[in-house]
Structure 1
C-alpha cells in the first residue's frame, strides 16, 4: 500500500490497517490518531511529527523509522520492533512498550512519563535528557543505555539490568532496585 492510499482511506474513516506494508513510506506530519497498524511493516519510514496518539502498533516493524517529534501518547507498541529507530523529542506518555525491542534507538529528549516498558529490550538505547518519570521499566534490559541527565522520578526499575549504563547526572529514588 502506498502512503497516499492509507491517508485517503484514513480520511474516509478507515482505521484498521493491520499487516500493511509501508516500508520507506513518507508520512511526515500526518494525523493517524487511533489508527490500527498491528504487525504493520514501517521499517525505514519517515514518520516525523506524525500524530499516533492512542494508535495500536502491536508487534509493528519500525526498524530504523524516523519518529522525531511524533506524538505516541497512549499508543500501544507492545512487542514492536524499533531497532535503531529515531524518536528524539517524541511524546510517548502513557504508551505501552512492554516487550518492545528498542536496541540502539535514539530517544534523546523524549517524554515517556508513565510509559509501560516491562521486559523491553533497551540495549545501548539513547535516553539522555528523556523524561521517564513514573515509567515502569521492570525487567527491562538497559545494558549500555545512555540515561545521562534523564528524569527517573518514581520509575520502577525492579529487576532491570543497568549493566554498563551511563547514569551521569541521573538521580534514582532510594526505593528503586535495578540490577547492576
Structure 2
C-alpha cells in the first residue's frame, strides 16, 4: 500500500494497519489519531508535525524517522525501535516507551512528562532541555545520554544515574543496512 492509498483508507474510517510497510513515507503533518500501527515499518518516514495522539505503535520500526514537533501524547510505544529518530520538540506526555530502543535519538526540547522509560535503551540519546518531570527510568540504559538543561523534577533518576560525560550523544550517526539496529560505540547501524 502506498501513502496515497493509506491516507485514503484512513479517511474512510480504517484505523488498523498492523504490520504495514510505509518505509520513507511522507506523512508530514498527517492527522492520524486514533490509529493502530503496531509492528509497522515507518523507518525513515517523515512524521514531523503529525498528530499521533493515543496511537498504538508497539513493536513498530521508526528507525531514522522524523517525528519532530509530532504529538504522540498518550501513545503506546512499548518495544518500539526509534534508533536515530528525530523527536525534537515532540509531545510524548504520558507515553509508554518501556523496552524501547532509542539509541542516538534526538529529543531536544521534547515534552516527556510522565513517560515510562522502564528498561529502555537510551544510549547516546539527546535529552537537552527536555521536560522529564515525573518520568520513570527504572532499568533504563542512559550511557552517554545528554540531559543538559533537562527538567528532571519528580523523576526517579538518582544523582549517580545521571551521565556526567555525554560524549556519545554528540557523536552518534545512523546508517541504513537492513531491518534491525545495532549500536557499536558511538555509531549506529540499522
TM normalised by structure 2 equals 0.84
The CA deviation at 1:157 is 2.8
Q: 8 Å contact 2:146–2:163 — kept in the other structure?
A: no
Shift of 1:165: 4.7
Q: CA RMSD in A?
A: 1.5
1:94 equivalent to 2:94? Answer yes
Distance between the aligned counterparts of 2:101 and 2:165, measured in 1?
17
Q: CA deviation at 1:161?
A: 5.0
2: CA distance between counterparts of 1:70 and 1:19? 21
Between the aligned partners of 1:53 and 1:3, the Cα distance in structure 2 is: 20
TM-score by length of structure 1 reads: 0.88
What SS class does the counterpart of residue 69 from structure 2 fall into?
coil
Q: CA deviation at 1:143?
A: 0.5
After superposing on structure 2, the runs of 4+ consecutive aligned residues of structure 1 that deviate more than 3 Å are 160-166
Secondary structure of the structure 2 residue equivalent to 1:73: coil
Aligned-pair CA distance for 1:2:
1.1
Matches of 1:116 and 1:162, distance apart in 2: 17
1:144 to partner: Cα distance: 0.5
Q: What residue in structure 2 maps to residue 42 of structure 1?
A: 42
How far apart are the structure 2 equivalents of 1:117 and 1:6?
A: 31
Residues 42, 60 of structure 1: 8 Å contact kept: yes
Flag structure 1 segments of 5+ consecutive residues without an equivalent.
Answer: 167-180
Deviation at 1:156, TM superposition (A): 1.6
User: Counting strand residues as a fraction of each chain, which structure ranks higher?
Assistant: 2
Distance (Å, rounded) in 2 between the aligned partners of 1:165 and 1:90: 25
* Residues 61 and 81 in structure 2, CA contact (< 8 A), matched pair in contact too: yes
Matches within 5 A, 1:8-87: 8-87=8-87
Q: Give the secondary-structure state (helix, strand or coil) at the position aligned to 1:8.
A: helix
Partner of 1:178: none
Are 2:43 and 2:64, in contact at CA under 8 Å, matched by a contact in 1?
Answer: yes
Please give the residue correspondences for 1:78-157 in structure 2 after superposition, counting only pairs within 5 Å: 78-157=78-157
- CA separation of 1:80/1:10 partners in 2, compared to 1, >3 Å: closer, same or farther? same
**Which deviations, in whole Å up to 9, do the C-alpha atoms of 1:28-56 show, x marking residues without a partner?**
00000120000000000011001000000
Take 2:132 and 2:49, find their aligned partners in 1: how far apart are those partners?
A: 20
